[in-house]
Structure 1
Amino acid sequence: MNRIFLSKSSYCKYVQCEKILWLNKYKKDSTITENNESVFETGREVGELAKGLFGDYVDVPVNEKITVRIEKTEEFLKNKPNVITEASFIYDKNFCSVDILKNDSDGVEIYEVKSSTKIEDIYLDDASYQYFVLSNLGLNVKKVAIVYINNEYIRNKELDINQLFNIEDITSIVLEKQDEIRDNINIINNYMDEHGKNNEPIKDIGKYCFYPYSCAFWQYCTKDLPTPNVFDISGMQKRSKFKKYYEGKISFEDLEHEKINQKYLEQIDFELNNREPKINKKAINALLSSLRYPLYFIDYESCQYAIPELEGTKPYQQIPFQYSLHIIEEEGAPIEHKEFLAEADDENIIRNFAESMIKDMPEDGSVIVYNKTFESTRNKEIGEMYLDLKYEMDRFNNNIVDLMIPFRNRDYYTKEMKGSYSIKYVLPALYPNDSELDYKSLSLIHKGDEASNAFLTLKDKSLEEQKVIRKALLEYCKLDTLAMVKIWEKFIEVTK
């Protein structure tokens, strides 16, 4: 049997689904992944910051060849006691780098750094694999711990990394998993030896396609399923979808007489029978009659910093950095547009965001949003952070009207919405083939997570790149509120 080179990330992929290893080797072109630039950058920033938890350290450069990294590690290990970051080891073709290695006179301690706010099972596999490699090389591993984010920490003016990070000893769990690690490594080598390039393994889909991480090969592994299928039912929990799948109820035809939620059956019925739009004029009129001029159509964009950059904020707190606002002062008045987009280095993003919004919405008109939970929660948080702004934030919340409700309640539904009440489905369903309202036609940013990622990485870009990104952010957010205006207009049209 030929043993393969196995990294800790490859080992963790095996733990999720063994076929991922084969697909990664032979079907790499079939991956479909989101742009995770900001996710990777967050992980990198958290890892870099954590390196200082135990004082001075020596760093093994990760951009060097593996042989060089291992040699450098061996050199650093001789100078105990010290702290080595990215210490690299290989045992019987099993390779790992340790985020933080405390190299004491009587042994070593492994610290695995995660940007998460809790310990996931896969982190235990990751750390256990590292222990396996180091202990088999003859190192006395005294302790293994996970370093992760404390999401209750509130930043003061200066960042305190000792409060930002939690450190949890998992040594006993790691020791219990060592036989499992050894057995799994043998299974992996046998598996890859047995399945060559032209011998694709047979593996059915399952919950492991989404846990602990969404698999980039989902579309490849489901390419032979009928379209649409059970996984296209909007709102149904994944475990329920897989239950139906394993029962052989996969296509919409298979599902149309099943005892499932009425909304799921409605989506299936509209798809199979090409139903006419369903419009509850009474419910839509009730929403329209609740509106008071001036009408403020507003949408927020927010981002989350794993390492809180603003005083008074927590890790991963939603930071509103942008809004778009379309205003209709009175019936028949022309539409005005206002907007706010924070500077990437603004230390008062939240307050400046709120003060701009207060200036732009001075009257007690209807504050019209799409999914009020998000905007109203941000308003509440701002009022709690800045007590002098609480009255205005409460005023906005008291005036909020949610345009999403008729779609969520299925008072307005068409086949093209595909069971969803997301504005990204609703808008093209109401205005098909309207290029002005097509998110796909936008230059760079097409959805909320892309906007968030773009802002998070903005400060690391050149001035020219920043200019392009900021323009794209403004275009995207402006379309969100224009979309709400168009939905309001459609409500008026269909209720005449």
Structure 2
Amino acid sequence: MDRIFLSKSDYCKCVQCEKILWLDKYRSDVLESETDESVFETGRQVGEIAKGLFGDYEDIPSDNPIKARIEKTERLIKDKPNVIAEASFIYDNNFCSVDILKNDVDGVEIYEVKSSTKIKDIYIDDVAYQYFVLSNLGLNVKKAAIVYINNEYIRGTELNIEQLFNIENITDIAVEKQDEIKSNIDFINEYMKNYEENEPVKELGKYCFDPYSCSFWDYCTRDLPTPNVFDISGMYKSKKFEKYYDGKISFKDLEHESLNPKYLEQIDFELNNREEKINKDAVKQVLCSLKYPLYFIDYETCQYAIPEYEGTKPYQQIPFQYSLHVIKEPGAPIEHKEYLAEADDDNLIRTFAESMIEDMPEDGSVIVYNKAFEATRNKEIGKLFPDLEDEMKRFNDNMVDLMVPFKNRDYYTKEMKGSYSIKYVLPALYPDDPELDYSNLPVVHNGFEAAHAFLSLKNKTPEEQSEIRDGLLKYCELDTYAMVKIWMKFKEVIGDDDIL
């Protein structure tokens, strides 16, 4: 059998777990989910910006056939010195494209661009593989480096790409790994040859999640009992694998183990179908802390690897939307207000804050679910716009977190599955209510989708933008209506009409 065609992404998959490559080839039908396009788009944007780090460059389109890319690279390599983006090479069926190749008279330099804010071990494997291919083709690789995001960079009026990126020279490490690279490539080829007809057996391990969560997890765990140790909410994966290796896999296996009381409670409720547990004093304490008007509010945020707005950092949470349900006084009707930024608003954060100040003019309770998130965004806004700091502090001083009773397990049911996420709590409190079912929403179903939807707006037609914006508004509105329903449930549980 000829040696398999092995790209650098294939190689890195095998560094994590060689069976991923086998499953990609033979069982792609059991892949859990489609590739996350937003992650690829972020990587693409970062890669495009980074190409200009060393001045003018020759670009080799990555959507061209591999043969054409290699042939163009060979022509450009001879025209030194120059800078080549996506220079492509193949040695003994091992293929790679170099994000940025500095092609000097006396050799070349490899620059691998990552949209991360820190260097991971897998990035070093990636660069070392490229070093292997190029050096075996006879090129003098003078330097091998990783280009990654500097998360301390604060954008000014204009983007400064030299400050946006850090560059780490890892040449010595790449050289040291060359024997390992060759050994791994030989192993991968032998592995794929040996299992052409039979599926290999591979034990579960921490590599199922490190450095990336494997998309074949459901397939590889299909024979485990349900629920099992991996379904325990909040437990470290290292602890889960410790129990798994010890043969403690099902909830029945785990019920008498020495574990965090919250884990044991989840197990107990599941195995024994316990009735709901409610600490009425804790719930009453939340209700008694409220004062009218009641402002139920939720923010949606997105993150830009390349900061879009002056005064912001890479991957800073940028608030672009809120939903607000207002109850002005006891017995008053519920009012709904909302804000959704225009995608081309260069002053988006301030517009968001000013709208919120207008919609919450009085000192009532600002009711959220997960106080730390909204409170941190308010502090960031105050720092960015000092003239708004007092108003942001007012919101934070009046903030009440509906999540606390669920987080502290003062209110718990089996259906919450150990989680205090509103996506678990809401259906547990109101089972089979289609009005509160996020899966019934038309476009956006969770915060991750909301962020991706907003980031995609600029590239959409007016009709598509209208549909996405409508979906964003419906999703965020449900988040705050869900909080209203939780507040109502608290009142129902306490049964005291004198409490807000």
Aligned residue identity for 2:287: L
Give unpaired runs (5+ residues) of structure 2. 496-500
Residue 75 (structure 1) aligns with: 75
Match of 1:403 in 2: 402
Counterpart amino acid of residue 285 in structure 1: K
SS at match of 1:376: helix
Give, in whole Å, the separation in 2 of the partners of 1:373 and 1:310. Answer: 23
1:450-481 Cα shifts (integer Å, max 9, x gaps)? 10111111111111111111000000000000
**Equivalences for 1:88-99 in 2 at 5 Å?**
88-99=88-99
- 2:187 maps to 187
TM-superposed CA distance for 1:411, in Å, is 0.8
The CA RMSD over aligned residues, in Å, is 0.7
Shift of 1:33: 2.5
Alignment of structure 1 residues 341-356 onto 2, 5 Å: 341-356=340-355
Q: CA deviation at 1:204?
A: 0.7
Corresponding residue of 1:320: 319
> Structure 2: which amino acid aligns with 1:398?
D
1:34 CA displacement: 5.7
Is this contact kept in 2: 1:318–1:378, CA < 8 A? yes
The one-letter code of the counterpart of 1:415 is: K
Q: What does the per-residue CA deviation read over 1:340-399, in whole Å, with 9 as the maximum and x for residues that have no partner? A: 000111111110000000000000000000000000000011111110000000000000
Letter in 1 for 2:364: G
Deviations 1:290-342 (A, max 9, x none): 10000000000000000001011110011000000000000000000000000
Task: State whether structure 2 residue 440 is matched by structure 1 residue 448.
Answer: no
Q: Scaled by the length of structure 1, what TM-score is found?
A: 0.99
Aligned to 1:488: 487
Deviations 1:90-114 (A, max 9, x none): 0000000000000001110000000
Tell me which amino acid in the other structure corresponds to 2:480.
T
Please give the residue correspondences for 1:269-418 in structure 2 after superposition, counting only pairs within 5 Å.
Answer: 269-418=268-417
Mapping for residues 151-230 of structure 1, pairs under 5 Å: 151-196=151-196, 198-230=197-229
Query: How far is the alpha carbon of 1:78 from its aligned partner?
Result: 1.1
Residue number in structure 2 paired with 1:5: 5
Secondary structure at the residue paired with 2:469?
helix
Residue matched to 1:133: 133
CA distance in 1, matches of 2:137, 2:2: 21
SS at 2:372 equivalent: helix
Q: Distance in 2 between matches of 1:145 and 1:463?
A: 42
- Cα distance in 1 between the residues matched to 2:72 and 2:151: 35
Per-residue CA deviations over 1:186-216 (Å, capped at 9, x if unaligned) read 00000000001x3111101111010101100
Letter in 2 for 1:482: Y
**Cα distance in structure 2, aligned partners of 1:368 and 1:155:** 32
Please name the residue that 1:110 is paired with.
110
- Partner amino acid, structure 2, of 1:105: V
Structure 2 CA distance for aligned equivalents of residues 49 and 308 of structure 1 = 12
SS in 1 for 2:295: strand
Q: Secondary structure at the match of 2:118?
A: coil
Contact 1:37 1:453 in 2 (8 A): no
Tell me the equivalent position of 1:439.
438
CA drift at 1:2: 2.7
1:24 aligns with 2:24: yes
Opposite residue 494 of structure 2, the aligned amino acid is: T
State the AA in 1 paired with 2:187: I
How far has the Cα of 1:64 moved from its partner?
Answer: 1.1
Q: What 5-or-longer segments of structure 1 have no aligned partner? A: none
- 1:257-314 per-residue CA deviation (whole Å, 9 max, x = no partner) reads 1110111111111111111111111111111011000000000000000000101111
Which residue of 2 is the match for residue 263 of structure 1?
A: 262
Q: Do the aligned residues in 2 keep the contact of 1:302 with 1:321 (CA within 8 Å)?
A: yes
1-structure distance, mates of 2:468, 2:393: 32
Distance in 2 between the 1:185 and 1:429 partners?
50
Q: What count of residue pairs does the alignment treat as equivalent?
A: 495
Partner residue, 2:498: none
Q: Which residue is 1:37 aligned to? A: 37
Counterpart Cα distance in 2 of 1:106 and 1:204: 47
Between the aligned partners of 2:318 and 2:433, the Cα distance in structure 1 is 32
State the AA in 1 paired with 2:341.
A
Question: What SS is found at the alignment partner of 1:97?
Answer: strand
For residue 490 of structure 2, what is the amino acid of its counterpart? F
| Percent of paired sites with the same residue | 75
CA deviation digits over 1:119-171, x for unaligned, max 9?
A: 10000000000010000000111000100111111111110101101111100
2: distance between equivalents of 1:120 and 1:440? 35
8 Å CA contact 1:370–1:484 kept in 2: the answer is yes
Judge conservation of contact 1:2–1:193 (CA < 8 Å) in 2. Answer: no
Counterpart-to-counterpart distance in 1, 2:91 and 2:127: 15
- Match for residue 146 of structure 1? 146
TM-score (norm 2): 0.98
Displacement of 1:39: 1.2
Q: Following the alignment from structure 2 to structure 1, what is the Cα–Cα distance between the partners of residues 97 and 30?
A: 28
